[in-house]
Amino acid sequence: MPCDYFKALNLAKAGQWDAAHEAVQSFSDPFSCRIHAYLHRVEGDISNARYWYSRAGVELPDSSLQEELSRLYEMLETGTPPQSN
């Protein structure tokens, strides 16, 4: 079963970090890794966030958390993320 990106992002948006983390942590596709990275950034664990951004093939963004969340939603809505494994 592929990762439900919208579910993970909606949980993150609702402040349900643990549930959002659980929704993505077992997936290794680039977009799941990017969401995982964002969640560690929200948590304040920047070194872990850097690791997951690296796994996603991107650098740690310098945008705000809200801007990053909006960008992740935008990527989903435009079909930018790759398919899940």
Closest CA to 5 of 38, 31, 28, 30: 31
Is residue 63 pLDDT above 50, yes or no? yes
Q: Pick 82 or 39 by higher pLDDT.
A: 39
| Each residue's pLDDT tens digit, 17-59 | 999 999 999 999 999 999 999 999 999 999 999 999 999 999 9
To the question of pTM greater than 0.75 for the whole model, the response is: yes
Contact 33, 45 (CB under 8 A): no
Tokens of 13: 């948006």
DSSP reduced 3-state for 69: helix
Tell me, rounded to whole angstroms, the distance of Cα 66 from its chain centroid.
Answer: 12
pLDDT level of residue 85 (50, 70, 90 thresholds)? very low
Question: What are the domain boundaries of the chain?
Answer: 5-77
Q: Does domain 5-77 have CATH number 3.40.50?
A: no
